[in-house]
Chain A
Amino acid sequence: MQILIKIYQVFNKAKHHLLIAFFGVSFTCKHRPTCSQYMSRQIEQNGIKGFFRGLRRILTCW
């Protein structure tokens, strides 16, 4: 899971540019630390419980 998040973060820019190419706009995460950073740290500290906390965070990210 952690590796997945790292991959996501590295390719974040590529995804950003790709979405702009397709839609003219790309939405970025509004939280700081970002949802992926938060998720990564939560999993590190609280395991599976942290994963659900991360999910809850993503659901608030409109």
Chain B
Amino acid sequence: MFDTLTQFFLNLLLSINDFVGNLGLSIIFLTILVRTVLTPLTLPSLKARKKIKELQPELKKLKKKFKGKALEMQQAQAELYKKYNVNPLAGCIPQLVQIVFLVILYRALTGFLTEQVTNNINTNFLWLNVTEPDSKYILPILAGLAQLALSIMIAPGAEVEDKVPNKSKSKKVQKKNEQEEDVAEMAASMQQQMIYILPFFTMIIALQFPAGLALYYVTTTLFSIVQQYFVSGWGGLKTYYLRLKLKFRK
């Protein structure tokens, strides 16, 4: 199953290449093709996310009302979503499917960029040789920047972690809850920093990989940015832009 799918994408890439005649362009076409096919699946979820963001004030009210009553809170939340016709497509299993898909694509691309396959094909694209890491560092930097822009756009996420209500009578449990909160807080601040750390990592990783992979990454991220823009505007990017503008005025 796994290998069949990998092989499928490899063949797809090869046939696109027969058609286009350039490896770099083929990779870009594949990216756009894959993302276009996926769009009907991703768009409803993106819209739901936007709606949830808009409902945040209402949710906060509910949280206040049902403080410490997790079950009732969940019910009220479900009702609210139902009322506004929000269907938060969610779950750990779809996530797993995504990750598996990612691995398959990765394997297809790395398989594609080996010598046996690209033997008789021209591997040059613009300034790049797609089978080798980018020697001019342009693509990795682009990948990092695109990732940063996207991360900022989606920064104020709809998923705010609930804190564990600290109401237990026994001191021991209370202390334990406090510890848990500490860990949660640390995790939260680390997650905030992820916005800046992740693009940096992206850049370093893109430096090591064949340029073709980095090319795929840049294209798919740009596609995401455009998609995100059409669904919910510039998001956090606007705030950052205004902040920068203010700073320069001073």
The residues of A with any CB-CB pair to B shorter than 8 Å are: 6, 9-14, 16-30, 32-33, 35, 58-59, 61-62
Contact = CB atoms under 8 A, between A and B. Distances in A.
A20 B232 CA distance: 14
Contact of B154 (A17, A30, A35): A17
B46 A17 contact: no
Which 3 interchain pairs have the tightest Cβ spacing?
Answer: A30-B90, A13-B191, A25-B42
B147 interface: yes
B246 interface: no
A14 B194 contact: yes
Interface residues on B, range: 35 or more
Interface in B59-94: 70, 74, 88-94
Interface of B: 35, 38-39, 41-42, 45-46, 49, 70, 74, 88-95, 98-99, 102, 146-147, 150-151, 154, 157, 159, 162, 183, 187, 190-191, 194-195, 197-198, 201, 217, 220-221, 223-224, 227-228
Contacts of B151: 17
Given A10-B190, A17-B147, A19-B98, A24 B90 contact: no
23 contacts: A9-B187, A10-B191, A12-B191, A13-B191, A14-B198, A14-B201, A17-B147, A17-B150, A17-B151, A19-B95, A21-B147, A21-B150, A21-B224, A22-B220, A22-B221, A24-B46, A25-B42, A25-B46, A28-B95, A29-B95, A33-B162, A61-B92, A61-B93
A17 to B, nearest CB: 5
Contact of A17 (B41, B102, B194): B194
Most A CB within 10 A of own CB, among B38, B49, B98: B98
- Chain B interface main SS type: helix
Contacts of B187: 9-10
Contact of B102 (A13, A22, A27): A22
B191 A24 contact: no
A20 B157 CA distance: 12
Given A12-B191, A17-B198, A21-B220, A61 B102 contact: no
Contacts of A30: 88, 90-91
Contact of B159 (A11, A28, A59): A28
Nearest to A35: B92
